[in-house]
């Protein structure tokens, strides 16, 4: 029996934002794991299966870009959809992130959690 997609990894070092995102995603019916650094997120990906990843661009130990490069280099995780969260709207090239790292969508902080939930729902609905 196949489960509906719903395992989400949040890689976010800001505890308050991670908590808000977790609350909203769980309320929408998703199973959520939170990692507080890029390294912790990588360890989670290597030990579990996720249907989608939300990652901050700037995190301790391993930033979001490096995390995504690692993700894309591994056969088991190279196809996982990734949504990036960033506070550096003027300093990033979203098209480059899409092309080089396969980032689905970029949300600039502050953002509406509802918009992120809608993006997650739409992306996972497309994979069913």
Kindly report whether the peptide bond that precedes residue 110 is cis, defined as omega within 30 degrees of 0. Answer: yes
Is residue 73 one of the residues assigned to a domain?
A: yes
Whole-prediction pTM: 0.91
* Number of folded domains that form the chain: 1
Is residue 2 one of the residues assigned to a domain?
A: no
Is residue 33 one of the residues assigned to a domain?
A: yes
What is the domain extent for residue 108? 7-127
Could you read off the pLDDT of 2-30 as tens digits, one per residue? 445 699 999 999 999 999 999 999 999 99
Is residue 1 one of the residues assigned to a domain?
A: no
Is residue 64 one of the residues assigned to a domain?
A: yes
Number of other CB atoms surrounding residue 74 within 10 Å: 12
Check which CATH number belongs to the domain holding 95 and give it. Answer: 3.40.50.2300
Is residue 93 one of the residues assigned to a domain?
A: yes
Is residue 21 one of the residues assigned to a domain?
A: yes
Distance between the two ends of the chain, CA-based, in angstroms? 14
Is residue 89 one of the residues assigned to a domain?
A: yes
Tokens at 45, concatenated? 């990906």
Could you read off the pLDDT of 30-65 as tens digits, one per residue? 999 999 999 999 999 999 999 999 999 999 899 999
């Amino acid at each position: 029996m196949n489960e509906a997609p719903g395992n989400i990894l949040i890689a976010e070092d800001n505890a308050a934002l991670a908590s808000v995102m977790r609350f909203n995603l769980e309320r929408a019916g998703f199973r959520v794991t939170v990692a507080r650094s890029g390294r912790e997120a990588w360890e989670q990906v290597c030990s579990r299966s996720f249907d989608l990843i939300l990652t901050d661009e700037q995190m301790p130990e391993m930033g979001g870009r490096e995390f995504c490069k690692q993700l894309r280099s591994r056969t088991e995780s190279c196809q996982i959809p990734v949504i990036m969260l960033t506070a550096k709207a003027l300093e990033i090239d979203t098209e480059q992130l899409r092309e080089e790292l396969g980032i689905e969508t970029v949300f600039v902080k502050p953002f509406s959690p509802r918009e992120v939930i809608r993006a997650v729902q739409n992306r996972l609905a497309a994979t069913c």
